[in-house]
């Protein structure tokens, strides 16, 4: 039974027990529908307490039902039935009331909750809007400004805020059911408040809505859902509850059927699967409390910051004192900037740094559970590091490399216990970027793999497993993307048009703008090294720019020119002159054609990656692009996009 009813004298206690998150699937809705009738018809019942079994109230709708037509009883109808029931319903919330769960609670006459409770309407993350009164009842209960923050901008309300603004009538203690029943008995001695839908909306300063509208317009990456939430809230204010409900429902159904929502749902399931890989079920990760990072450059410092943000102790090893000092200052600067931006308190910043020690020499790593190497991208340098780690570290310590391109099998050659070795490919800046490519060698043990996935989870990162190839999944697709962008440029398509087309598709920056930001020299040096090994790699326009000293923003210009302190790209006559020998006569190409070509290139490379078993699934490739390379989530990813195009 997904819903149970118990009687405690005149109070019926209704428990939703639908693991794992008590989602409101059809069976739950149907049973609740019947229970409303049963309680109304039973003269011995005077009030109903609604509670979720386990750790949370209700996690939301059942997303797996979203790809099918809606089946009655519909949630808005069920909530209306609860709201107009002859006996008052009291939502008793422990843990979270999310999405449809919060909407059900809003349909109850009262809400009580325990200390850890949290309330949110995360629908916009899935490209939809609340579809069961969230946009209409919430503003009536907590005011328009808070409702906009919660429903359109993904804010969640903790118990303190929820009690202050009237969402929660009483903060209660465990045992929750006893407390809720006591509350119900007390409530029965007084006249009942009006149902939420019948309450007026407190007057709102139009500026509040205008400001929200401006903020929302800037977050185009979330797709159209946030703006549509705002529209539904506004409509309810102007036209009343019933009209607001009708618009909300129509919008919900429209968005639910959109490609954008399908893409976000797809990513939701892909993320869940990546965080709990099926083949590692039952494999215990090793416990990690002391970690080491070797190399305190761009990546080492970012990785150390990510570890500290997760509360993990770090020992940072550099090759000499000046490099160590540079690394420690860079680390400190990351936390200082977080404090300036209000993300950390002074105490938190101090605690972050207190958990890191800096060292020259490897002895400090002797008792580490995990060591991540992030030294120069050079096989000999890396091998020398692992020779040291092999002799100093515990034999069961996990040893990882952050290499971008070098074959991890070569790095691990000669390492004692190679089964504890793994590639952990972080992305820059490592304390920010969500993606973590996990690159096992054929020898890597399952529990080391499970440890890597567990680490990603602790660092709030998205783990994606990659096989071994040049550039792994992400950089390999990136190279193809850039190569095709450069090919178009050489065919005479203006680079500004290419960048603008990709921004129009939803990227924050176009391919040439990104290169200017990251620096053109990295991939240039990679190509030069291959040329030095005798590989025949023809010059690219980017190579011409680097040779002319144009490495990107850091040198004042690359593909574009930049004024000091300003990241706005300006057309560059100088760059045009440098690359002219490789560029054909100017021609125009529509944005659509540019986008199609570059996405097709990415999908083709992705297909090759799948066929070579470098990625386990198309969804993994899409996760890499979305979490590591700025692919707009509402488009799902290059593989999702390509599959939709051919449908
Ligand atoms: P970096 O040049 O900024 O830093 C390397 C650091 O390693 C330097 O501070 C250097 O002093 C130190 N070092 C060199 N030899 C050492 C040794 N024997 N012992 C201790 N420290 C030593 O380089 P980076 O950009 O941080 O890259 C580091 C690694 O991460 C490379 O393998 C690179 O391919 C990879 N990576 C880089 C990026 C990126 O965007 N920069 C992204 C992912 C992975």
Question: What is d(CA 184, CA 191) in angstroms, rounded to the nearest whole number?
Answer: 12
Q: How many CB atoms lie within 10 A of CB 203?
A: 8
- In testing the pocket of ligand 1, which one of 299, 323, 518 has its CB within 8 Å of the most ligand atoms? 299
Q: Tell me which of 34, 83, 103, 513 is the catalytic residue.
A: 103
Q: Which domains does the chain have, with CATH numbers?
A: 3-257 (3.90.226.10), 285-465 (3.40.50.720), 474-613 (1.10.1040.50)
Compute mean pLDDT per 10 residues along the chain, 647 residues long, and list them. 94 97 96 97 97 96 84 96 97 97 98 97 95 97 96 95 96 97 97 96 90 86 88 96 98 94 95 96 96 97 98 97 98 97 96 98 97 95 97 97 95 95 97 97 97 98 97 96 96 97 95 94 88 93 96 94 92 96 96 98 98 98 97 96 85
pLDDT at 442: 97
How far does the centroid of ligand 1 lie from the alpha carbon of residue 398, in Å?
19
SS3 of residue 158 by DSSP: strand
ipTM of the complex: 0.99
Measured from CB, residues less than 6 Å from any atom of ligand 1 are 294-300, 317-319, 323, 374-377, 381, 385, 402-404, 426-428
Concerning whether 592 is annotated as a catalytic residue, the answer is: no
SS3 of residue 398 by DSSP: strand
pLDDT at 522: 83
Cα radius of gyration rounded to whole Å, the chain: 28
pLDDT at 646: 73
Question: What is d(CA 562, CA 575) in angstroms, rounded to the nearest whole number?
Answer: 12
SS3 of residue 71 by DSSP: coil
Q: Output DSSP code: residue 42.
A: -
pLDDT at 1: 87
How far does the centroid of ligand 1 lie from the alpha carbon of residue 451, in Å?
23
Residue nearest to atom 42 of ligand 1 (CA): 427
pLDDT at 517: 93
60 φ/ψ sector (left φ>0, alpha ψ -120 to 50, else beta): left
Terminal Cα distance for the chain, rounded: 40
Strands (E), 272-397: 290-294, 313-318, 356-360, 370-373
Q: Helices 134-142 & 241-256, crossing angle to 10 degrees?
A: 130
Which are the contacts of 17, defined by CB distance < 8 A and separation ≥ 6?
A: 1, 2, 3, 4, 52, 53, 54
Q: Measuring CA to CA, which residue among 453, 413, 450 is closest to residue 437? A: 453
Question: What is d(CA 299, CA 429) in angstroms, rounded to the nearest whole number?
Answer: 7
pLDDT at 423: 98
Give the CA distances from residue 246 to residues 102, 182, 191, 350, 617, in Å, rounded to whole numbers and listed in that order.
Answer: 19, 37, 30, 52, 40
pLDDT at 63: 84
pLDDT at 67: 79
Angle (nearest 5°) at CA 212 between 211 and 217: 100
pLDDT digits (tens, 9 = 90+) for 99-153: 999 999 999 999 999 999 999 999 999 999 999 999 999 999 999 999 999 999 9
Concerning whether 231 is annotated as a catalytic residue, the answer is: no
pLDDT at 221: 66
Question: Residue 61: is it exposed, middle or buried by C-beta count within 10 angstroms (0-12/13-18/19+)?
Answer: buried
């Amino acid at each position: 039974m997904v819903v149970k009813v118990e009687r405690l004298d005149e109070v019926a206690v209704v428990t939703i027990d639908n693991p794992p998150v008590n989602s409101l699937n059809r069976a739950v809705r149907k049973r609740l529908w019947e229970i409303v009738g049963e309680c109304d018809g039973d003269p011995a019942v005077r009030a109903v307490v609604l509670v979720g079994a386990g750790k949370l109230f209700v996690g939301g709708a059942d997303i797996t039902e979203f790809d099918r037509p809606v089946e009655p009883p519909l949630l808005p109808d069920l909530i209306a039935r609860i709201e107009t029931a002859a006996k008052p319903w009291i939502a008793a919330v422990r843990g979270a009331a999310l999405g449809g769960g919060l909407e059900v609670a809003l349909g109850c006459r009262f809400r009580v909750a325990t200390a850890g409770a949290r309330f949110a309407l995360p629908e916009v993350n899935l490209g939809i809007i609340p579809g069961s009164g969230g946009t209409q009842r919430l503003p009536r209960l907590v005011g328009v400004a808070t409702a906009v923050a919660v429903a359109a901008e993904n804010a969640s309300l903790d118990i303190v805020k929820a009690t202050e603004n009237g969402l929660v009538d009483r903060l209660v203690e465990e045992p929750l059911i006893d407390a809720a029943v006591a509350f119900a008995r007390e409530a029965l001695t007084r006249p009942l408040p009006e149902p939420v839908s019948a309450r007026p909306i407190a007057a709102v300063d139009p500026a509040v809505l205008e400001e929200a509208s401006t903020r929302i317009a800037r977050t185009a990456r979330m797709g159209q859902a946030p703006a549509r939430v705002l529209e539904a809230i506004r409509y309810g204010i102007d036209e009343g509850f019933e009209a607001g409900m009708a618009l909300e429902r129509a919008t919900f159904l429209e968005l639910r059927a959109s490609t954008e929502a399908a893409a976000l749902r797809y990513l939701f399931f892909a993320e869940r699967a990546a965080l709990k890989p099926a083949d590692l079920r039952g494999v215990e990760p090793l416990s990690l409390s002391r970690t080491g990072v070797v190399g305190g450059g761009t990546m080492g410092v970012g990785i150390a910051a990510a570890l500290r943000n997760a509360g993990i102790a770090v020992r940072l090893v550099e090759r000499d004192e000046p490099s160590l000092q540079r690394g420690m200052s860079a680390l400190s600067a990351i936390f200082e900037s977080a404090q300036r931006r209000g993300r950390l308190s002074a105490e938190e910043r101090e605690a972050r740094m207190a958990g890191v020690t800096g060292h020259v020499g490897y002895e400090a790593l002797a008792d580490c559970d995990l060591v991540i190497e992030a030294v120069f991208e050079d096989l000999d340098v890396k091998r020398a590091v692992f020779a040291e780690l092999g002799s100093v570290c515990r034999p069961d310590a996990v040893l990882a490399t952050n290499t971008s391109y070098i074959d991890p099998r070569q790095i691990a050659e000669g390492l004692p216990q190679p089964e504890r070795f793994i590639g952990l490919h972080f992305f820059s800046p490592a304390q920010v970027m969500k993606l973590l490519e996990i690159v096992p060698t054929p020898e890597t043990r399952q529990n080391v793999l499970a440890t890597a996935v567990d680490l990603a989870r602790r660092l709030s990162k998205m783990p994606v497993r990659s096989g071994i190839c040049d550039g792994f999944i992400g950089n390999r697709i990136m190279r193809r993307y850039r190569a095709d962008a450069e090919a178009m440029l050489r065919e005479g398509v203006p680079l500004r048009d290419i960048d603008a087309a990709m921004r129009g598709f939803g990227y924050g920056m176009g391919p040439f703008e990104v290169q200017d930001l990251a620096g053109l020299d990295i991939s240039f040096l990679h190509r030069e090294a291959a040329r030095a090994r005798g590989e025949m790699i023809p010059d690219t326009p980017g190579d011409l720019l680097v040779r002319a000293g144009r490495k990107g923003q850091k040198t004042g210009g690359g593909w574009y020119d930049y004024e000091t302190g300003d990241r706005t790209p300006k057309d560059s006559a100088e760059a045009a002159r440098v690359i002219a020998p490789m560029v054909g006569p100017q021609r125009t190409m529509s944005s659509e054609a540019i986008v199609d070509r570059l996405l097709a290139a990415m999908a083709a490379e992705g297909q090759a990656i799948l066929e070579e078993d470098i990625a386990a699934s198309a969804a993994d490739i899409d996760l890499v692009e979305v979490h590591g390379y700025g692919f707009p989530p509402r488009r799902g990813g290059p593989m999702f996009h390509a599959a939709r195009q051919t449908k």
